Structure 1
Amino acid sequence: MKLRVVLEPSEEGGYTVYVPALPGCISEGETKEEALDTIREAIEVYLEMVEDDCLLNEKSEQVEIVI
């Protein structure tokens, strides 16, 4: 899966990073590399929570697509 992230320098130092396609998915790090590592973890947790909230009935079908 590919997601675009926005990486911004923080006034206090370090970087803030967020995912426009995933509202509320935000993280930070002291370096660009650290910020990108922490946002990867945040994305994984975000998507797990969304998947857990998905309610299926007996007629539902889950299909994975690649975009």
Structure 2
Amino acid sequence: MLGIIFDVVVKYSLKQQRLLQYFIVFENSIFPHFPPFLINMKKVVTARLVLRMKNSIRLLLIILFHLIDQKNLI
């Protein structure tokens, strides 16, 4: 049961686009009686958000450098 709830919360949180929405999901969560579980969930989602942001920055830099290279070739 707990595994199913975990999967649902993680899938829902990965669809959110704003940092604030990540934490609203957990502050209004159904887990106020399980603080250690809630803390672990926040860590998982925060780690995924950081990874997503790093990947976005890398992609942006790759695109930027590619555009700069194209500009220099013209």
Which bin holds the TM-score, normalised by the shorter protein?
A: 0.3 to 0.5
- Using structure 1 for the length normalisation, give the TM-score: 0.44
Tell me which protein shows more helix as a share of its residues. 2
- Using structure 2 for the length normalisation, give the TM-score: 0.41
Structure (1 or 2) with the larger CA radius of gyration: 2
Tell me which protein shows more strand as a share of its residues. 1
